[in-house]
Structure 1
Amino acid sequence: MTESAHARTLDEEAYPAAPGVRISLRPIANPMPVGFMALAVATLMLSALQLGWLPVSERDHVCMVLIAFAFPLQLLGSILGFLGRDIGVGTGMGMLGGTWLATAVVTLSCPAGVSTSPTLGVLMLAVAVGLLVPAAGAATGKLLAAAILLAASVRFALTAGYELTGAPLWGTVSGAAGVVLCVLALYGALALLIEDVGKRTVLPVFRRGAGRASMAGNLRDQLGSIERESGVREQL
């Protein structure tokens, strides 16, 4: 059966009440590896400042890395996540990218010698809570992605404690949590990249439910409810 004939069969069988209607899907590469790589680099750079691996004089340079490297890559991951019909990934990457950009801009506007900002503290606390939403969504299909988003939530909550109190202990604990998040994000990027290149799971990514069906199921399994997805249904 040719590709066009197969598409026509799907149209006729899946949508008998809408003859002539055809829904086109464009395959894309998995955007999670690039998003998680950006997360790993950004959290490591921030941890390097918090743990004293980089001198305070490097603060502005770290902010530029967040703006020029982490933000655009996670913005790309967010856009491709939504285009790939994965709202959990799209939302999580978008929140992370926006957080790095806001962190860099606020930090650059702080006077020299000021190491913390209550504004950043409130932002980090809000982001820590907000990341629980896409983490919960990812947990329905991809436990590894959910774990990385949850770890990012904990990392930002600890950073909020440091920004609000200015206590060095909070900074040290937050920096250590950032290093752990970096390692977890690097593993996630590697596992998901190998999976997407080989079209099979090699390193555990702990898929379940719809996430497992997306790798092990057939095309009909994944398109069964497409008429109820954003961009196809009449209202969001």
Structure 2
Amino acid sequence: MSTPTSTAVDARVVLRPIATPLPLGFLALGVATSSFAALQLEWIAPTQGRTVALAVLALTVPLQLVASVMGFLARDPVAATGMGILAGTWGAVGLATLTNPPGAAVDGLGVVLLGSAACLLVPAASARSKLVPACVIALSAVRFAVTGVAHLDGGTGWMSLAGWVGLALAALSLYAALALELEASDGRAVLPLGRRGPSAEAMSEGWESQVRAAQHDPGVRRQL
């Protein structure tokens, strides 16, 4: 009698549909960047910085962390990585604002912001198939870089520039969130998002094309 030398294994990959977490993360970003912009442009007193910092720690950081986790679950490493770096950076900004004198320039925070700006260039470059979300992440990198220089330089000119960049980022984040929400609710593009290549194909091709390579995704294949 011959002995079987191999065993066939039938594996099944189950995918759970979830809503896109990007609008949540972008709206949370808009709150943080516009609030700190008001401080940097001296529209509100420096003593209000602690209130702004607490609001960002209570609202922006947890919402962006949720968006990051959901991005990983949705098999979108660009969204997950971008939201994770944003959440951590705003957390650092909030804690530094709470623990330093109002309106003070903090060299250590400046270094952290420059590092975060460099890190954000990775998901920004990887998101080139979705132009508007890529621009949000890239402009976030610019916002952190300018703020980092302002802390290291200690001059009001750089801080004012950071505030104006922050307001521009808030407007772009609001547009991106609205476009993504309308696209999700209507099932079609309502406002331009600049989708192209794989991102455009994901919206137009059938179900089979979306799951054809799922067995090669991290978490499904044996090695990350």
TMscore range, shorter length: over 0.9
**Between Structure 1 and Structure 2, how many residues are aligned?**
218
**2-side partners of 1:222 and 1:206: how far apart?**
20
Post-superposition offset of 1:19: 5.9
Post-superposition offset of 1:198: 1.0
| Secondary structure class of the residue paired with 1:131 | helix
Which of 148, 159, 162 is 1:174 aligned to?
162
Greater mean deviation of Cα atoms: 181-190 or 216-225: 216-225
| Secondary structure class of the residue paired with 2:42 | coil
One-letter amino acid matched to 2:179: A
- Kindly indicate whether residue 50 of structure 2 is the aligned counterpart of residue 60 of structure 1: yes
Identity %: 42
Post-superposition offset of 1:20: 2.9
**1-side partners of 2:103 and 2:44: how far apart?**
16
- Kindly indicate whether residue 113 of structure 2 is the aligned counterpart of residue 124 of structure 1: yes
1:213-228 equivalences in 2 (<5 Å): 213-228=201-216
Which of 89, 94, 98 is 2:79 aligned to?
89
1:129-144 equivalences in 2 (<5 Å): 129-139=118-128, 141-144=129-132
Which of 203, 206, 231 is 2:219 aligned to?
231
- Kindly indicate whether residue 26 of structure 2 is the aligned counterpart of residue 36 of structure 1: yes
Regions of 4+ moved over 6 Å: none
Deviations 1:85-116 (A, max 9, x none): 00000000000001111111122111x35511
1:66-85 equivalences in 2 (<5 Å): 66-85=56-75
Post-superposition offset of 1:224: 1.9
Which of 98, 104, 110 is 2:88 aligned to?
98
Match of 2:140 in 1: 152
Deviations 1:168-216 (A, max 9, x none): 0000101000000000000000000100111111100011111111111
One-letter amino acid matched to 2:119: G
**2-side partners of 1:25 and 1:223: how far apart?**
9
Which of 21, 24, 27 is 2:14 aligned to?
24
CA RMSD for the aligned pairs?
Answer: 1.3
Query: Relative to 1, partners in 2 of residues 1:201 and 1:19: Cα closer, same or farther, differing over 3 Å?
Result: farther
Greater mean deviation of Cα atoms: 112-121 or 40-49: 112-121
Match of 1:7 in 2: none
Give TM-score, length-normalised by structure 2: 0.94
Which of 27, 45, 48 is 2:35 aligned to?
45
The runs of 5 or more residues in structure 2 that have no matched partner are 1-7
Tell me if the contact between 1:213 and 1:221 (Cα under 8 Å) persists in the aligned partners: no
Which of 144, 149, 157 is 1:161 aligned to?
149
Match of 1:6 in 2: none
Match of 1:206 in 2: 194
Query: Relative to 1, partners in 2 of residues 1:50 and 1:77: Cα closer, same or farther, differing over 3 Å?
Result: same
Tell me if the contact between 1:162 and 1:170 (Cα under 8 Å) persists in the aligned partners: yes
Tell me if the contact between 2:30 and 2:173 (Cα under 8 Å) persists in the aligned partners: yes
**2-side partners of 1:109 and 1:19: how far apart?**
57
Tell me if the contact between 1:124 and 1:156 (Cα under 8 Å) persists in the aligned partners: yes
**2-side partners of 1:185 and 1:209: how far apart?**
22
